[in-house]
Amino acid sequence: MNPFSRIISGTMTWGAWGAKMSTAQMQLQIEKNLSMGITTFDHADIYGGYTTEAEFGAAYSKTKIPREQLQFITKCGIQMPCEARPLSVKHYDYSSNHIQKSVDNSLKALRTDYIDLLLFHRPSPLLNVETATQIIQKLLKEGKIKSFGVSNFTPAQIALLQKELRPSWNQIECSLTHEKPLFDGTIDYLSTHKIGVMAWSPLGSFFKEENSRVIRIKQCMESLSKKYDCSEDQLLLAWLAQHPSQIHPVVGTTSTQRMKNAISALEIKLELTDWFLLLKASQGVEVA
């Protein structure tokens, strides 16, 4: 059974990489999200230069929320040069020692006894499947992680892992402005193998760029926003959520209103032609 809320709260910009929220502000954010039905929080060890997990953990410890009511996702594998780790080069490390140490650090930082889902953050050309399998099976057996998945892996890279491991999720970039995974076989493969799909940056580049693609989408949205009585961000999420693979958007906003919008977007059912009108606006051409 899928334990994760359909909208996942992304924490990447809660701390040093964005809002720089205080402990009290993070505590309130956790409580507000839960009150809206968002129970899943997405982390990575590197967020905030290896600081955000601990800040979140300190905030969570001040709530009175039972641990079993929430789900914590975190990622490991990227070794990022920063103040906390003065490394010579950014690289990937999937050695048993690094995976074990990363999980132990995350458990301590998040102030929890277990991680609901551990993801390998990025694929490495030096990933040894046998080594990874042994340490993941050990962590599962010990109960330090409840499940295992990957992030940003291609079907071929997952197939390599599947010789020994069965990832339960793949967290990928997917949105109306980054629709490639819907057409290149990525999501087809995940659905075929019953691997769940989480989408980071589910709003894509719509609010970040002002190019011909975004202009076309905005023009298309003018009538659709009125038709469905919703905002632009809701249309973007509704479009993504309508895919039959039940994509789980990872929404990184710290705005209560935008999070409410995200939840409400799941109730919007676009007419088939409207879904394709948005796709046409994004791609600039009709489907073949």
Q: What is the pLDDT of residue 84?
A: 94
Q: Is the pLDDT of residue 1 over 80?
A: no
C-alpha–C-alpha distance, residues 186 and 155, integer Å: 6
For 52-64, write each residue's pLDDT tens digit: 999 999 999 999 9
Q: What is the pLDDT confidence band of residue 164, given thresholds at 50, 70 and 90?
A: confident
Q: What is the pLDDT confidence band of residue 163, given thresholds at 50, 70 and 90?
A: confident
Q: What is the pLDDT confidence band of residue 2, given thresholds at 50, 70 and 90?
A: confident
Domains and their CATH numbers in the chain? 8-167 (3.20.20.100)
What is the rounded average pLDDT of the residues 220-248? 98
C-alpha–C-alpha distance, residues 56 and 161, integer Å: 31
What is the rounded average pLDDT of the residues 124-129? 96
Q: Report the share of the chain in percent with pLDDT over 90.
A: 99
47: annotated active-site residue: yes
What is the rounded average pLDDT of the residues 13-32? 98
Tokens of 103: 């999980």
pTM (two decimals) = 0.97
Q: What is the pLDDT of residue 233?
A: 97
Q: What is the pLDDT confidence band of residue 44, given thresholds at 50, 70 and 90?
A: very high
Question: Could you give phi then psi for residue 111, rounded to 5 degrees?
Answer: 55, 55
What is the rounded average pLDDT of the residues 107-116? 98
Listing DSSP states for the chain in one string gives: ---S-SSEEE-TTTSTTTT---HHHHHHHHHHHHHTT--EEE--TTHHHHTHHHHHHHHHHTS---GGG-EEEEEE-EE--SSS---SS-EE---HHHHHHHHHHHHHHHT-S-BSEEEE-S--TT--HHHHHHHHHHHHHHTSBS-EEEES--HHHHHHHTTT---SEEEEE-BTTB-GGGTSSHHHHHHHTT-EEEEESTTTTTTT--SHHHHHHHHHHHHHHHHHT--HHHHHHHHHHTSTT--EEEE----HHHHHHHHHHTT----HHHHHHHHHHHHSS---
Q: What is the pLDDT of residue 209?
A: 92
Q: Is the pLDDT of residue 193 over 80?
A: yes
Tokens of 202: 């589910």
Q: Which of 47, 60, 94, 228 is catalytic?
A: 47
Q: Is the pLDDT of residue 194 over 80?
A: yes
Beta carbons of 176 and 236 less than 8 angstroms apart: yes
